[in-house]
C-alpha cells in the first residue's frame, strides 16, 4: 500500500506544473434576469444579463475560468415568480 502511495506522489511531482485558476462568483441574484428594478421602474446594475456580459469578458481573458454561484439565485424578482425557476436556470446554463 505504501509503495502505491509513493509512486502516486512521484508521478504527481514529475508531472506537476503551476496553474492559475480564475474563480468567478455570483451571489444573491434573487431571480433578476434583466438589469431592471421593478420597484423603482429604473435600470439597475444587476441581473443575469449584466452578469453574462461580465463573465463573457472575463472568459476571453481566462477561458477556463470556473463560475460558482453562492446561492439565493432563484427567488425574488417578479419575472422569476411568474416563471418559477425555469427561466433563470435556462439562462444560467447558456452562460
C-alpha cell at 43: 435600470
Using pLDDT thresholds of 50, 70 and 90, give the confidence band for residue 36.
Answer: confident
In this prediction, residue 9 carries a pLDDT of 79
Give 59-95 pLDDT, tens digit per residue: 999 988 998 888 777 676 666 666 655 566 666 677 7
Mean pLDDT score of the chain: 79
Query: Own/partner pairs for 65-70, CB < 8 Å, 24+ apart?
Result: 65/22, 65/23, 65/24, 66/21, 66/22, 66/23, 66/24, 67/24, 67/25, 67/26, 67/95, 68/23, 68/24, 68/25, 68/26, 69/25, 69/26, 69/27, 69/29, 70/25, 70/26, 70/27, 70/28
Domain ranges of the chain: 19-93
Amino acid at each position: 500500500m505504501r509503495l502505491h502511495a509513493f509512486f502516486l506522489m512521484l508521478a504527481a511531482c514529475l508531472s506537476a506544473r503551476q496553474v492559475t485558476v480564475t474563480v468567478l462568483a455570483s451571489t444573491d441574484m434573487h431571480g433578476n434576469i434583466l438589469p431592471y428594478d421593478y420597484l423603482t421602474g429604473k435600470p439597475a446594475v444587476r441581473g443575469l444579463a449584466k452578469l453574462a456580459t461580465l463573465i463573457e469578458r472575463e472568459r476571453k481573458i481566462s477561458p477556463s475560468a470556473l463560475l460558482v454561484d453562492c446561492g439565493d439565485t432563484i427567488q425574488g424578482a417578479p419575472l422569476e415568480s411568474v416563471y418559477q425557476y425555469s427561466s433563470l436556470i435556462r439562462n444560467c446554463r447558456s452562460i
